[in-house]
């Protein structure tokens, strides 16, 4: 029997590889799947994969209207050659693009995957105000209700987007992309010897909104208070990104005696990094659903994150970690101290982290929801 065709539109291959590769691999058992993404920096051949990759340059850099026209034309040609029944547009920017393109495509359904809205709702400049209104206009005017379904990773994002575009939408909540619990295998953390240092890990891009400043400040203060904790930061820094931390802070992190900066760690090395640390900390201001936190939990890491959308989907407070106050260094320090002074909690939280992933986020559970 011939498989039905579906396509995913994802800006960067790296983002696909780190966040959705396992999901697409799972779905390709049931569908003929094509991933349209930027393969500019991708040279290694795919091995034992059932899906197809097609190159389309990243649209984030196409600010020129003429270039955008040719980009759109190329995209339409690719989709018409594939002829998928369903298209999944991944990220808010791609959803806006997909809303416009859907008027020119003959597909049964367009799925808009809002992976997170970050600072989209925060208006602190004229540019942000204009971008927000253009996005909302496109989503409101070009989304055909009978042919469009929105997929969110948490209820807060769903409510906020529905409010901001001022219209009812057909939507589903699917919590993430699924975790391969066999790959991100479990190791129980059992630390009760006060002489052994606790190893705390932050893993994310070095953006202000990811809370890296709060993590760094908390680490410095706790080390100055003589807490036997080893702090590590793993994540890429892009000085051209306006959302990144300042160059001054980045240099302080690089040269710090209080934390170890590991740089940008490749996806295939993250599993070992989780296994070599004891607790995972991500003081992000808002998330769709943080993949690194779910992967860390699958390996048995207790979590410390703020009680904000996305982050609070990963933690049952005082069960597999602690929910803290957002943007609060003192609240973060308090949670770390609580685990440090009661090291038996690490083993307890470790087991619960794994159980939460097995019950709610395992790849087959999430994959079945996409099939539905």
How crowded is residue 78: how many other Cβ atoms within 10 Å of its Cβ?
16
Binning pLDDT at 50, 70 and 90, where does residue 61 land?
A: low
Categorize the per-residue pLDDT at 189 as very low, low, confident or very high, splitting at 50, 70 and 90. confident
> What average pLDDT score do residues 268-277 get?
96
pLDDT at 193: 66
Q: What is the mean pLDDT of the chain?
A: 91
Ramachandran region, residue 285 (left: φ > 0; alpha: ψ -120 to 50; beta: rest): alpha
With beta carbons less than 8 A apart as the criterion, state whether 210 and 324 touch. no
Closest CA to 292 of 361, 365, 369: 361
- pTM for the structure as a whole: 0.91
State the average pLDDT over residues 281-309: 97
In the Cβ-directed half-sphere of 169, how many Cα atoms lie within 13 Å? Answer: 32
The pLDDT value given to residue 34: 96
Per-residue pLDDT for 302 more than 70? Answer: yes
- Neighbouring CB atoms inside 10 A of 247's CB total 10
- Report the pLDDT value the prediction gives residue 43, as an integer from 0 to 100: 64
CB burial readout 204-224, b (16+ within 10 A) else e: bbbbbbbbbbbbbbbbbebbe
Report which of residues 121 and 363 the model is more confident about: 363
Q: How confident is the model at residue 66 (pLDDT cuts 50, 70, 90)?
A: confident
Neighbours of 124 (CB within 10 A): 8
pLDDT value, residue 46? 64
Per-residue pLDDT at 131: 74
Asked which of 10-19, 308-317, 349-358 is least confident by mean pLDDT, the reply is 10-19
Beta strands in the chain (DSSP E): 5-12, 32-38, 52-55, 86-90, 109-114, 148-152, 171-173, 198-203, 229-234, 259-263, 279-281, 303-306, 321-324
Cα distance between residue 250 and residue 263, in whole Å: 11
Strand partners, 322: 304
Q: What is the Cα–Cα distance from 54 to 33, expressed in whole angstroms? A: 11
Range from 84-88, 120-124, 146-150 carrying the lowest mean pLDDT? 120-124
């Amino acid at each position: 029997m011939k498989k039905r065709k579906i396509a995913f539109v994802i800006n960067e291959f790296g983002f696909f590889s780190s966040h959705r590769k396992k999901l697409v691999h799972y779905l390709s058992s049931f569908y003929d799947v094509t991933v349209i993404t930027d393969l500019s920096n991708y040279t290694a051949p795919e091995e034992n994969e059932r899906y197809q990759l097609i190159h389309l340059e990243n649209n984030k850099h196409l600010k020129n209207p003429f270039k955008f026209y040719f980009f759109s034309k190329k995209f339409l040609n690719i989709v018409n050659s594939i002829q998928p029944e369903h298209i999944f547009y991944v990220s808010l920017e791609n959803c806006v693009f997909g809303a416009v393109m859907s008027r020119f495509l003959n597909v049964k359904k367009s799925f808009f995957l809002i992976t997170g809205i970050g600072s989209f709702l925060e208006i602190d400049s004229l540019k942000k105000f204009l971008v927000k209104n253009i996005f909302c206009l496109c989503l409101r005017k070009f989304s055909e209700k009978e042919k469009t379904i929105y997929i969110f990773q948490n209820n807060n994002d769903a409510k906020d987007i529905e409010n901001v575009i001022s219209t009812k939408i057909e939507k589903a909540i699917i919590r993430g992309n699924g975790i391969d619990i066999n790959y991100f295998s479990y190791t129980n953390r059992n630390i009760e010897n006060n002489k052994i240092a606790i190893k705390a890990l932050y893993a994310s891009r070095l953006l202000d909104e990811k809370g890296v400043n709060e993590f760094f400040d908390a680490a410095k203060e706790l080390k100055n208070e003589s807490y036997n904790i080893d702090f590590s930061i793993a994540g890429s820094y892009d000085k051209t990104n306006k959302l990144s931390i300042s160059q001054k802070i980045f240099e302080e992190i690089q040269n710090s005696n209080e934390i170890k900066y590991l740089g940008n760690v490749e996806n295939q090395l993250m599993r070992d990094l989780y296994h070599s640390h004891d607790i995972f900390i991500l003081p992000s201001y808002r998330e769709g659903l943080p993949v690194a936190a779910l992967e860390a939990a699958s390996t048995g890491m207790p979590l410390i994150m703020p009680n904000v959308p996305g982050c609070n989907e990963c933690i049952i407070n005082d069960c597999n970690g602690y929910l803290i106050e957002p943007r609060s260094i003192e609240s973060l320090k308090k949670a770390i101290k609580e685990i440090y002074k009661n090291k038996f909690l690490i083993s307890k939280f470790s087991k619960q982290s794994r159980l939460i992933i097995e019950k709610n986020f395992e790849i087959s559970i999430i994959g079945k929801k996409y099939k539905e």
